[in-house]
Structure 1
Amino acid sequence: MVSRSRDTHTTNRVVRIADDDWEAFGQAAGGRNRAQVLRDFIAWYLHRPGAALPERPAPGTRTGAS
């Protein structure tokens, strides 16, 4: 089931991601920028016009293994 908080917001999606990966992703993406990085990646993956692959952080700026 999905929920909408307001008509002006996009629908919430549920994605299962390990806690340690989600935390490391937040640190690498800049905390509240995770959603934007994911939207940018999806647009690139779907070959949307003008979409670019999100830039990855430099090595050593993230935590966690692999």
Structure 2
Amino acid sequence: MPNQPKTPVSRFRIDAELWKAFGDAVPDDTDRSDVLRRFVAHYCRRPGAKLPDRPPAGPWSEAPKA
């Protein structure tokens, strides 16, 4: 099958506002998927896995106003 990716697409539910804030917090030189893959590898204690760096606080750090 042409263009078959190495990894399957995985889906999960997350609040839309939190997903946007996460995207805003992720540095420009990476993407959300990379951060999530690194976190999952760390969480599963894979050898050599390191927890992704957290960005400094920013506008994404505040909880939405109710």
Q: TM class, shorter-chain normalised?
A: 0.7 to 0.9
- For 1:7, give the aligned amino acid: Q
Q: CA deviation at 1:43?
A: 0.3
> Which of the numbers 8, 11, 21 marks the counterpart of 1:14?
11
Provide the rounded CA distance (Å) in 2 between the counterparts of 1:37 and 1:61. Answer: 19
Provide the rounded CA distance (Å) in 1 between the counterparts of 2:62 and 2:17. Answer: 7
Gaps of 5+ in 1: none
Where does 1:22-37 land on structure 2 (aligned, <5 Å)? 22-30=19-27, 33-37=31-35
Q: CA deviation at 1:64?
A: 4.2
TM-score relative to the length of structure 1: 0.77
Higher Cα radius of gyration: 2
The farther-off stretch of 7-16 and 51-60 is: 7-16
Where does 1:1-66 land on structure 2 (aligned, <5 Å)? 6-30=3-27, 33-60=31-58, 62-65=60-63
TM-score relative to the length of structure 2: 0.77
RMSD: 2.3
* Matched length: 62
